[in-house]
């Protein structure tokens, strides 16, 4: 019989709640209380997440975010700033010792990204993994990914762009040199794509989630069983949201 | 003296360093290492920042110090390396 993992569809939440839920699953899994878990989710309101090592003030135009009703949050994973709007976000939480996960961190990025690549195939899209942490369609980025390992547990989360609005994104992000901002925006427009653009039609979140579910099942030879957050995970998530992700101390710490 | 650098690590990520240093002694007073790289464990970056205080801003000294911290605390970088970090710090000086 195939190994069974848990599938969570937690819908659309705030940035603070989303990051708190991923961390809560990591803690629960590290204590052996929940099976390996794949989660699909979205963001309401739209939000910017920044990598653990980034400076909020350097990367994010906080007042523009506040004006446009966009949340901002620091992740527990490294990597870059992401504008989460029309996209599907996934996370996977699994023990580091699980045979499905290469010990080598970069190789494990590749393995998990393969699940996404398989999933995109179900939408008729051919894509490739571009180390360190991107997935490309026709040479353009459609997915960014970030992984942390804590308490012998792997958490990787990442996005699949359903649609992309580079102009809005750059109205929220800061760039090192304002003089070349216009050129930078043009460059990014050339380098980024989305499902909408690739398929030349709109695609629903649910359809993408279904395709990615198959992708994870095939890549890891498992069955994903729809589940819910445990009571303990919900309590932890509420605590992390309140004490960490929604606080100035956490978000402005660098 | 306070200074900043932005350095694209070859084959890696964008490193942004801010250094406060003693001009006479040429030593780091305070350093903040930011960017879109990955480091495992993440908290190690704060440790590296602390351990770099009072280190001479000179290529060999920096390389030696950073290497020894990384080895001692089993730190892994992705999109960043000792050479890149050293280069980023050196670039802070005019």
Average pLDDT over residues B65-80: 96
A-to-B residue pairs, Cβ atoms closer than 8 angstroms: 57
**pLDDT value of residue A177:** 81
Residue of B nearest to A151 (CA): B41
CA distances from A228 to A23, A200, B21 (A): 15, 34, 52
Among A58, A132, A176, select the one facing B79 at the smallest CB separation: A132
* pLDDT (tens digit per residue) in A213-248: 999 999 999 999 999 999 999 999 999 999 999 999
Q: How far apart are CA B76 and CA B67, in angstroms?
A: 11
CA distances from A29 to A132, A138, A163 (A): 26, 36, 32
Q: Do B36 and A54 touch (CB under 8 A)?
A: yes
Say which residues have a Cβ less than 8 Å from residue A242's Cβ, sequence separation at least 6: none
Average pLDDT over residues B68-84: 96
Contacts of A254 in chain B (CB under 8 A): 32, 34
Nearest-Cα distance to chain A for B19, in Å, is 14
Nearest-Cα distance to chain B for A205, in Å, is 28
Q: How many contiguous H segments (helices) and E segments (strands) does chain B have?
A: 3, 5
Is pLDDT above 90 for B94?
Answer: no
Is pLDDT above 90 for A168?
Answer: yes
Q: What is the ipTM of this complex?
A: 0.95
**pLDDT value of residue A179:** 85
Residue closest to A22 by CA, chosen among A159, A116, A160, A134: A159
Q: Do B39 and A132 touch (CB under 8 A)?
A: no
* pLDDT (tens digit per residue) in B3-58: 999 999 999 999 999 999 999 999 999 999 999 999 999 999 999 999 999 999 99
Residue closest to A217 by CA, chosen among A36, A89, A96, A26: A36
**pLDDT value of residue A178:** 82
* pLDDT (tens digit per residue) in A6-31: 999 999 999 999 999 999 999 999 99
Q: Do B40 and A149 touch (CB under 8 A)?
A: yes
Contact A5, A36 (CB under 8 A): yes
Is pLDDT above 90 for A176?
Answer: no
Q: How far apart are CA A154 and CA A107, in angstroms?
A: 13
The mean pLDDT value of chain A amounts to 97
Terminal CA-CA length for chain B: 11
Q: How far apart are CA A50 and CA B92, in angstroms?
A: 24
Res. A93 pLDDT band, cuts 50 70 90: very high
CA distances from B14 to A13, A58, A146, A183, B33 (A): 30, 13, 15, 18, 11
Terminal CA-CA length for chain A: 47
Average pLDDT over residues A87-101: 98
**A96 CB within 8 Å of a chain B CB:** no
Is pLDDT above 80 for A76?
Answer: yes
């Amino acid at each position: 019989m195939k190994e069974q993992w848990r599938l969570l569809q937690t819908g659309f939440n705030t940035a603070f709640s989303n990051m708190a839920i991923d961390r809560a699953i990591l803690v629960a899994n590290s204590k052996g209380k929940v099976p390996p878990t794949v989660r699909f989710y979205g963001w309401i309101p739209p939000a910017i997440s920044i990598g653990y090592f980034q400076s909020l003030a350097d990367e994010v135009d906080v007042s523009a975010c506040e004006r446009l009703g966009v949340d901002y949050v620091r992740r527990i994973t490294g990597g870059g700033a992401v504008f989460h709007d029309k996209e599907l976000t996934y996370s996977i939480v699994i023990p580091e010792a699980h045979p499905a996960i290469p010990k080598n961190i970069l190789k494990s990025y590749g393995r998990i990204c393969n699940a996404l690549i398989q999933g995109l195939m179900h939408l008729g899209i051919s894509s490739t993994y571009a180390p360190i942490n991107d997935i490309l369609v026709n040479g353009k980025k459609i997915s960014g990914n970030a992984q942390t390992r804590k308490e012998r547990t792997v958490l990787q989360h990442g996005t699949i762009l359903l649609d992309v609005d580079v102009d809005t994104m750059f109205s929220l992000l800061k760039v090192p040199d304002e003089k070349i901002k216009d050129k930078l925006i043009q460059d990014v427009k050339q380098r980024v794509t989305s499902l909408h653009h690739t398929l030349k039609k709109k695609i629903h979140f649910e359809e993408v989630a279904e395709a990615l579910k198959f992708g994870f099942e095939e890549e890891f030879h498992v069955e994903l069983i729809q589940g819910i957050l445990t009571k303990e995970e919900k309590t932890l998530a509420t605590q992390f949201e309140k004490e960490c992700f929604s606080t100035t101390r956490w978000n402005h710490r660098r | 003296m306070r200074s900043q650098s932005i350095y694209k690590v070859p084959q890696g990520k964008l490193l942004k360093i801010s250094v406060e240093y003693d001009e006479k002694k040429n030593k780091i007073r305070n350093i903040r290492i930011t960017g879109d790289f990955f480091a495992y464990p993440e908290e190690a970056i704060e440790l590296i920042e602390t351990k770099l205080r009072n280190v001479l801003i000179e290529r060999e000294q920096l390389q030696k110090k950073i290497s020894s911290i990384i080895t001692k605390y089993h730190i892994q970088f992705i999109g960043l390396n000792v050479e890149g970090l050293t280069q980023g710090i050196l670039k802070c000086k005019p």
